[in-house]
Amino acid sequence: MPSEANINSSGMYGTSPRKPLTALLLSVCPGLGQHYAGHMKRGILLYIALIIASWLAAIAFMSIGSKFSIVFLCLPFVGVGLIALDAWACARRQPRDYHLQWFNRPWIYGAVFLSLLFTANPLMDYLVGRQVVRAFFMTSSSMQPTILDRDIVLVNKLAFPKRGEIALVKFGESKSSAKLTRLIDDQLIKRIIAIPGDTLEIRNDAVWVNGQKIDESYAHFDGTLRFSSEQSSNFGPERIPAGTYFVMGDNRNESIDSRILGVIREDQIGGTVTKVFWSWNFDEGGIRWDRTAKSLK
């Protein structure tokens, strides 16, 4: 039986039956199984459809508050499975004397796989991650108990956070002269406490905005103070300048935030943190199933 690299005496590619199992295995890269089975255009269209459906599912997952949204987490995996079954069926329908096409060559399969792995997939992640949705891995206790260390949260890049909502903040750029910026990551998760034009005051840990004490059921005081007690517990009153925001971590003693770094600019806010996507801590029992698809407030 001629291999897929062989050409017969007439200058045409030879024949070789399409093996359903091979098509199924090649579908580890969605669409490549169809490519192998002789349906290259079909494979490309299914790959594009899967990418679009996956990101739409991510948006739906972020937007729906109930645990029902976990269904949308399963859609990409279901899509991959259906594409693999389609590849198996395509190969099974081909005759045993299937005439190899120009694209039925092992090196082309490898080139397609590597190009998707190192170009198309990263480019899609980059574009969508900047404009639509991004996953963020929490590595501190500054937002406990709302967000735990080793939670993976989703950031909705399409929604700008309101007062009281949680935001992705490019905090390292807030004040280049602040020494503590060297001790924190460039991007952190914090809660919007005051917006432009608000008058903010902290009195003995209680937060007052525009003369009204706000209900902070999420506020937590645990761990060791990261800076002076006076600076942590009392602040202002100060009016928040136009185009800037005052942010704080929910775990006030463990959070380096606007109390020490000052207000942040609007262009430093990268989106609204809406949900926990996944969570684990193998030092404390493994996967935290109860946090999957948990809405954040």
> What does the alpha-carbon distance between residue 67 and residue 2 come to, in Å, rounded to a whole number?
54
**Beta bridge pairs of residue 192:** 247
Contact 151, 165 (CB under 8 A): no
For residues 234 and 143, give the distance between their C-alpha atoms in angstroms, rounded to a whole number: 20
d(CA 222, CA 254): 7
52 to 59, 135, 185, 274, 275: CA distances (angstroms)? 11, 17, 31, 21, 21
Among 16, 69, 140, 142, which one carries the catalytic annotation?
142
Question: Which of 16, 140, 190, 279 is labelled catalytic?
Answer: 190
142 included as an active-site residue: yes
Q: Calculate the dihedral angle through the C-alpha atoms of 20, 22, 24, 29, rounding to the nearest 10 degrees.
A: -150
Tell me, yes or no, if 190 is annotated catalytic: yes
DSSP 11-37: SSB-B-PPPHHHHHHHTTSTTHHHHHT
Taking alpha carbons only, the member of 73, 33, 31 closest to residue 54 is 73
Closest CA to 167 of 283, 264, 37, 44: 264
Of 177, 157, 194, 175, residue with least CA distance to 269: 157
Could you give the residue numbers annotated as active site? 142, 190
